[in-house]
Amino acid sequence: MTQTAADTDRAPGARHDDRPPPTACLVLTDGQTFYGEGFGATGQAVAELCFNTAMTGYQEIMTDPSYAGQIVTFTFPHIGNVGVNPEDDETAEPVAAGMVVKWRPTAPSNWRSAESLSAWLARRGRIGIGGLDTRRLTRAIRLQGAPHVAIAHDPSGNFDIAALRAGAKAFRGLTGMDLAKDVTCSQSYRWDEMRWAWPAGYTRREGPARRVVAVDYGAKRNILRCLASAGCDVTVLPASATAEEVLAHDPEGLFLSNGPGDPAATGAYAVPMIREVLEQSDIPIFGICLGHQMLALALGARTIKMNHGHHGANHPVKELATGKVEITSMNHGFTVDSQTLPAGVIETHVSLFDGSNCGIAMADRPVFSVQHHPEASPGPQDSFYLFERFVASMEARQSGR
């Protein structure tokens, strides 16, 4: 059945009569339908719905490859207020399927803004919906788990709710999905751009550096910038890279990037590569997010799907060795089951929200990883030491020879 604006007074999430007719809707598999104002691209999409509590960084979130297969509900109401600009993209195109916000974005006001969020989304083919009760959605996700949804934007306000619900119900979900293959690079490349700094902006690394191979499961640009800023000469390889291809670059260190999807599915080809590198070389290894989960699987642990995941920039994580608490940025719907860590693998970090695993390390080798995102400026510098630790482990290996 096609539902129009005239029917919205009988639907959950309906708008009051004194407001403009709805031009977008969000449909859950249980039939709940939320109406609002569409912006960005027109059309429809199906995905998993998550929420993010960050107060800044909506452009970085939408272009983070780890959000493949997801629609993001932003709990912070002021989304779009600073516009967008080319420097803040984490990858070439938005990856999240759509966005849900409390208020439709207003005209941007920021000296760095090059375009409005709505125009940017329209040009990039991503749907936005505003005017929804995002607190209600967030509570539902927390209590019931991340639902499968359909989002639609039609300026005429005509929506086939039954078809949208059917599409949401047909969405297979992220469990069992290898999405890294969809967001990885198609061929290898070098990276030397460093972190943004006033007043020069992004600059290039110069001088001697440690040779690092970064395996791209959906790498964010700022991770690569942090590696370069810490003193790494970075060569990026596709997610499907073999151990032979990795070691052919004679790396001093191996980095495993963030990425989307079910780690067990990506692990079908990533885990054998990591195990072979561990067997054939003693180089330091550092992983972030999906890379953390890939390392854990390679070492013999298991991963599990979380109820609603961790998505935000205010997550407290405790480093167990020092007792230090870091304010971190997170984006993951799967987690390493710390109860399955084998002998010789140490749990190094835990979430203070729910006690879930946030870091591991081998007891006798410079091999470690974290679930959170040290490159995303949480704290704002609480976790950058991890990049420095990676470089220090490479220097220690070289000096020990």
Catalytic residue among 148, 153, 349, 373: 373
Amino acid letter, 388: E
CA neighbours closer than 13 Å in the CB half-sphere of residue 390: 34
Q: Active site includes 310?
A: no
- Terminal Cα distance for the chain, rounded: 72
Written as six digits, the tokens of 342 are 């084998």
Written as six digits, the tokens of 339 are 């109860």
Q: Active site includes 349?
A: no
How far apart CA 167 and CA 231 sit, in angstroms, is 47
DSSP H helical segments within 148-280, as ranges? 161-170, 180-183, 221-229, 243-247, 263-280
Catalytic residue among 37, 48, 90, 375: 375
DSSP states of 65-125 as a string?
GGGTTEEEEESSS--STT-B-GGG-SSSS--SSEEE-SS-------TT--B-HHHHHHHHT
Which residue is it, tokens 């709505």?
118
Catalytic residue among 289, 292, 311, 372: 289
Q: Active site includes 375?
A: yes
Annotated catalytic residues are 289, 373, 375
